[in-house]
Structure 1
Amino acid sequence: MATPEVERKRGHLAALSIAAVVIILGIPLWWRTTQTYRAWLPVNQINDLAKLQLQLSVDVEVVFARGTLSPEQQKKVPLTQARHEEHKVDEDTTLRYRYDTKYRTATVMEEDALNKPSAAEADLSLHTLSESPCGSVVVYVIPESSLLLLEDVEVYIGERRTALLRIGTQMRVGKTPQQVLAHLEPRIKQVLQVMSFSHADVTAALSDRVRLSPGSKESRADSMRAFKSSPGYEITFSLLNPDPKSHNLDWDIEGAVQQYIQPLLTKLSPLANFSIDSQILYYAMLGVNPRFDSSLSAYTLNADSLAHVINPVEARLGSNAASSNPVLNFLLYVPDAKHAPLFIHDHNKQEVPSNAFHSPRWGGIMVYNVNGLYGPGDVFPVNININMAKVMGVFLAQLRLMLGVQSPAPPPGFRVEPRGSAGLAHWELDRLMWSRTVENVATATTTITSLAQLLDQIGNIVINDNIAQQVSNTVTSLQLAVAELEAGNLGFALQYSKEAILASERAFFDPSLLHLLYFPDDQKFAIYIPLFLPMCVPILLSLLKIASEVRQRRRDKKAKKD
């Protein structure tokens, strides 16, 4: 039979063994199995992208036609020339612009195209010979004797990416090539301000993410008017018939969309995907009662009351629950017989020619008056065929405005070719692509930077491999987009920027990020303490008892020695 001393040593050994197993094996195993999984993220690269240092490059080609340069001048004209510009958006963001200009003389086929009867035909022929890449600009310098331009027109901007610039014959005599180029440079710079991106466009694209200077109010107003960049848009055309008993409305919306809207959306397909639907709403009334103006013998809606028109109508439009894309609403309202005709007045009490108005980042409303009806002998309901050409002309202008398609006012001496059936010139598409690419890069950078800061501040959020992959894809796409912008490849830069913004949004809105967001450490202790405390208390007491006995034994030995 074991002695009490042996039993005591055996108990001490058992307590120490259990404590060792708990400390060496149990605690690390528990810590490992309850640890939040967090995949690796390229934090340093994300911090580098947050600086948003962009350089935009434009390829400019200046082609001299026959009769603009003498043979001696042609031999001395430089082949290439680069011009750099830097602009401050705010104290932290610097944008660099680079214009790579190439000079050459026109080929035989280009000379034949420049001999066409009109500038529009010459523009089409030049485009047929060689299609310029996205974002580039080609300026053809023609002699003063050319009949392509009118006398009061010095610069013609076509529907494509080409411009015609007239030069005087006096530049051929006694002028060096540098003097000729210096003479052309102001006009070429004006051409680039019209056909390529401008500082105002880029500033507007960054308006939600930088602090604009007081002189940039116009840029901010333009940016607030248009919808922000999105992978897709939903376009809804609605016909509002407030009084079906008075009139029976007929509109060929399908044919009108195919004729007027679809060509524009086809050209805008590199930017986003578009879906179109239409509806007819009966007994849909405006939220404001129009006032009768006896001087006009008509009802009027003032600009101050237009803001109250949208909310009641919007409740009838329905919501697009199947998609998260922005919705562009275009409403055609035909007044009832009691409030016809109905005209919209601006802030100056002047009648709006289009009889329509738009709401920024929402859509537009047009009031369609029916003239010559609602007489004493009319039989109700009156059949009304809506003139879709008139309606779509207004909606097309509003759609361009909502999507951010802006054409700056040309300088004096410029003539801009009217837009064709597509409703969008090639260089207008390029301007929009520049601003959308910059906006996508800025948005994706802001999103991924915010996500990295959030994950750094809240340590118990799970970062699974899918989120890490999306973050890495975002960083890679942003780096490629910035590199393509610097190289002047606008098409590739836009594509990479779209991939970046899609990947960043998938990572930021991943549902797995919310699983442990509201499971802080104090709740963990509340769960695990009832499990581990009953086991840990006896072990801890045994260790304290062993430590106390060891100290007592040492004191006894010391006392015997003394």
Structure 2
Amino acid sequence: MSADGMRAPAPPGPVGSQPGAPLAGGSLCSPGRCRPWGACVVFAVCTPCSVSLAGGGWAPPKGDGAGEELLSPISVPAPVLGAPPVSAGGAAACPPAALVARPLTGGTRSDWFCCPPVCAAARRTPRSLAALGIVSSDWLGWRRVRSSRLGREVKMAAAAALAADEAERARGRRAALSFATIAVVLGLPLWWKTTETYRAALPYADIDELGQQPVRLVVPMAVVFGPGSVPRDLPRPLPFRDVQEMEISVNVRASVTSRYEMHYRSTTAREEAALAAVTAREADAALHPLQDTTMGSLTMYVVPETSSLLPQGINVYVGKHRSALVRAGGSLAALQARLREVTQVMSFTASSIAAALSDRVPSGQLSPDARRYLKSSLGYEITFSLLNPDPKSHTVDWDIEGAVNRYVKPVLDKLSLVANFSVDSQILYYAVLGVTPRYDKESSSFLLSAHSLPHVINPVEARLGSSAASLYPVLNFLLYVPERSHSPLYIQDKDGAPVSTNAFHSPRWGGIMVYNVEAPASPQASLPLHVDVDMARVMEVFLAQLRLLFGLSREEVPPEFLLENPGNEGLADWELDHLLWAHTVENIATVSTTLTSLAQLLDKIGNIVIKDDVASEVYRAVASVQSAVTKLSLGHLHAAFQASKEAVTSSERAFFDPSLLHLLYFPDDQKFAIYIPLFLPMAVPILLSLAKIVRETRLRKKEPTKMD
């Protein structure tokens, strides 16, 4: 339609389009659909008529898309094509007019096409086509009339195409951003949550403070003055209290302080009656029901310097319980010096605390016997073994069951507060010491020197087999009956003198006793000889060795001290307290070391699972250690020891929990090797799309927007 509402006149037909005109240059066009020329956009037309060239027919295509719409009425004249169009029946039938369609997006006015698609007039302007006689001048005038409307249509089509392309790009950007958002917001947290290692929280700060926590050992002590024993230089009248503190240097980090809370008072009437006994042993037995029996507490009864209760030359008598008789000494300073020595014997000394903390104390500060004592443990196994290397010559009979019940069981019952004990026995035949003894002509006996004793244990221990499946330390006590060819056999000390007990002990292992058999009176005596072992003599030696293994030696007592024999119990009450003091301090140090090692292990290997039960054991161990330290500062020895045992139990359970085996978990490099082939192919397209979006956004910001 024109601007005045009238229909625009039909464009004149192209030059030479009459029917029957001859076609020339048929090679210029070939059958096919209308297509763009190269990269140009077509302004071409296909006539709607069905024609056929000489030699074959063809049908012009109908517009089925934006790239195949009809544009302008171009008809190829006969002189150009060189052959007349013919209808399907053989007659020429090609109408002179053609249909007009919208221009294609991106096309230029110099792009022209014919139908068939390849034409000599391609990529020529309308004026050049008129000059070649392909179109007429009238047609060019009609084209100028339509050019303004055609230009608007071209711009509209181009804008629509650009809008469609921009919409497609925006859709791609949204898709890429959606995938990236889903992967980051949903995928990564889900993967992280499903693959993370569960690690319960642990009290790392409290564990670190355990090694630096000061320990205060408080000993409640009552000093009771008998008639005529009160020093004249007392600072104030009785009763009164006094405190004495002494620091035990262990190492730089840990400090142990001993605090003696002393209560000075006079004796009661019943105590005076008990002190009127004839001997110190009778007085100690009479005073026992009247004194404080709390573990860790001590009671010192001060008697006059001229008292007959104590033998001549003895200033201190230590009974079987938690009391002692002390001579006054004339002055308060002399009395306090004696009381200090008594408290160290009956409670603890600096050397015993250092031995308990031997793992933390430098080797130069330890005494030679510091590492000889048994380490604190929740249980011990005691094995009594009879070694008979020559059963053809000796038939040895020992009543080990009766001896254990008579001599060992009372001691173990008292030590049951410290640990659990189990006892077993065995007889080994043809078990030799592994060391050939030296024959001494002067004494007509065989001797084992002190330097050869360490070589005795290894061959014998290989035959014992008691420690192979044991969870606790094993104490071995061996009774060796020498073979006939090496009898009698004696053990020498370092000075070459024979040992009276004919036995020796190995620190933290046990002891060996050689039991010689008397030679028969007649050489023609029948073999094997029957031997009955004196179990009282044997058990006396073994119990002494057991005391040495636990650090209960009485050899370091000053000479003016008299210690009462504990009797059949084998252990005095104050000796039990001495053991509890040392083991409580050692348990606290052991728990601190165990938890520190566990915390360092879990901090170093981050992919170890920390279960809730493991964390609860750690928390329980820390709380028990703190409770033990508090109980010690209050003077409650038994409660402190029980808390330390619970701390050891919980710390060992946490440390040896099967779930903490680091070999069950993959290191980080193996995780990367597993996940990279899975996530890399998915992540690369997303990352590239995001990079392209960022690049296009930067370019869009740099280029100004063009407004038409």
Residue in structure 2 matched with residue 197 of structure 1 by the alignment: 348
The answer to whether structure 1 residue 352 and structure 2 residue 499 are counterparts is: yes
**Secondary structure of 1:366 counterpart:** strand
Per the TM alignment, residue 323 of structure 1 is displaced from its structure 2 partner at its CA by: 3.6
Q: Counterpart in 1 of 2:241?
A: 80
Q: Which region of structure 1 is more displaced relative to structure 2, 406-415 or 196-205?
A: 406-415
2:310 alignment partner in structure 1: 149
1:380 deviates by 0.9
Q: Which amino acid aligns with 1:504?
A: S
Q: What SS does structure 1 have at the residue aligned with 2:568?
A: coil
Structure 1 counterpart SS, 2:567 = coil
Which 10-residue stretch deviates more, 511-520 or 400-409? 511-520
Query: Structure 1 CA distance, aligned partners of 2:501 and 2:544?
Result: 10
**In the alignment, which residue of structure 2 is the partner of 1:387?**
534
Amino acid at match of 2:238: V
Task: Name the one with the larger helix percent.
Answer: 1
Partner of 1:264: 411
Distance (whole Å) between structure 1 residues aligned to residue 199 and residue 694 of structure 2: 40
State the SS of the aligned residue for 2:643: helix
Q: CA deviation at 1:540?
A: 2.5
Task: Within 5 Å, give how 1:139-538 maps onto structure 2.
Answer: 139-167=300-328, 180-212=331-363, 214=364, 216-218=365-367, 221-320=368-467, 322-373=469-520, 375-515=522-662, 518-538=665-685
Residues 231 and 272, structure 1, Cα contact 8 Å, conserved in 2: yes
- 1:201 Cα deviation (Å)? 0.7
Per-residue deviation at 1:107? 1.4
What residue number does 1:66 align with? 227
* Counterpart contact for 2:400–2:425, Cα < 8 Å: yes
Q: What are the Cα deviations for residues 286-328 of structure 1, in whole angstroms up to 9, with x where unaligned?
A: 1111221212211111122211111111111114455410111
Change (3 A) 1:412 1:278: closer
Question: What do residues 179-218 of structure 1 show as CA deviations (whole Å, max 9, x unaligned)?
Answer: x433421111121122121111111111111325x4x342
User: What is the alpha-carbon distance in structure 1 between the residues aligned to residue 337 and residue 659 of structure 2?
Assistant: 56
Cα drift, residue 121 of structure 1: 1.3
Q: Does 1:108 align with 2:265?
A: no
SS in 1 for 2:497: coil
Q: Aligned partners of 2:600, 2:521: CA distance in 1, in Å?
A: 65
Which residue number corresponds to residue 93 of structure 1?
254
Instruction: Report the CA distance between 1:84 and its aligned residue.
Output: 1.5
Equivalent residues of 1:406, 1:428 under 8 A apart: no
1:439-492 C-alpha deviation (Å, 9 max, x unpaired): 111111111112122222222222111111111111111111111111111111
1:242-292 CA-partner distances (Å, limit 9, x unpaired): 111111110000111111111111111111000000001111111111221
Q: Tell me if the contact between 1:460 and 1:516 (Cα under 8 Å) persists in the aligned partners.
A: no
C-alpha distance in 2 between matches for 1:72 and 1:57:
26
1:96 Cα offset (Å)? 1.2
Q: For 2:393 and 2:422, locate their aligned partners in 1 and report how far apart those are by CA, in whole Å.
A: 32
Q: Counterparts of 2:567 and 2:386 in 1: how far apart (Å)? A: 27
Asked if the contact 2:316/2:561 (under 8 Å) is kept, the reply is yes
What is the rounded CA distance, in whole Å, between the counterparts of 1:84 and 1:204 in structure 2? 20
Pair 1:205–1:507, CA change in 2 (3 A): same
Residue 174 (structure 1) aligns with: none
SS at match of 1:277: strand
Unpaired runs of 5+ residues, structure 2, are 1-64, 66-160
Q: Deviations over 1:22-47 (max 9, x none)?
A: 01111111112212211111122112
Is 1:41 aligned with 2:188? no
* Residue identity matched to 1:196: S
Q: Which moved more, 1:8-17 or 1:53-62?
A: 8-17
SS in 1 for 2:369: helix
**How far apart are residue 87 of structure 1 and its match?**
2.9
The answer to which structure, 1 or 2, has the higher relative contact order (CA under 8 A, 6+ apart) is 1
Q: CA offset at residue 72 of structure 1?
A: 12
Q: How far off is 1:94 after superposition?
A: 2.4
* Residues 385 and 426, structure 2, Cα contact 8 Å, conserved in 1: yes
Amino acid at match of 2:302: V
**2:155 maps to what in 1?**
none
Distance 2:234 2:645 in 1: 46
Aligned residues: 546
- Could you tell me whether the CA contact under 8 Å between 2:590 and 2:648 is conserved in 1? yes
Give identity over the alignment, percent. Answer: 56
> Residue 57 of structure 1 contacts residue 98 of structure 1 at CA under 8 Å; is this kept in 2?
yes
Q: Does the 8 A contact of 1:46 with 1:449 survive in 2?
A: yes
Distance apart, 1:415 and its partner CA: 1.6
In the aligned structure 1, how far is the partner of 2:555 from the partner of 2:615?
43
Following superposition, the deviation at residue 55 of structure 1 comes to 0.9
* Letter matched to residue 497 of structure 1: S
1:424-453, CA deviations, whole angstroms, 9 ceiling, x for partnerless residues?
111111111111111111111111112122
2:263 counterpart letter in structure 1: K
Amino acid at match of 2:519: G
CA distance in 2, matches of 1:85, 1:74: 21
Contact kept in structure 1, 2:354 and 2:366, CA below 8 Å: no
Question: Equivalents in 2 of 1:334, 1:501: separation in Å?
Answer: 41
Change over 3 Å in CA distance of 1:140–1:74 after alignment to 2:
farther
Change (3 A) 1:551 1:464: same
Report if aligned partners of 1:240, 1:283 keep a CA contact under 8 Å in 2: yes
Residues in 1 aligned to 2:244 and 2:546: alpha-carbon distance in whole angstroms: 35
CA apart distance, 1:85? 1.5
Contact 2:383/2:466, CA 8 A, preserved across alignment: no
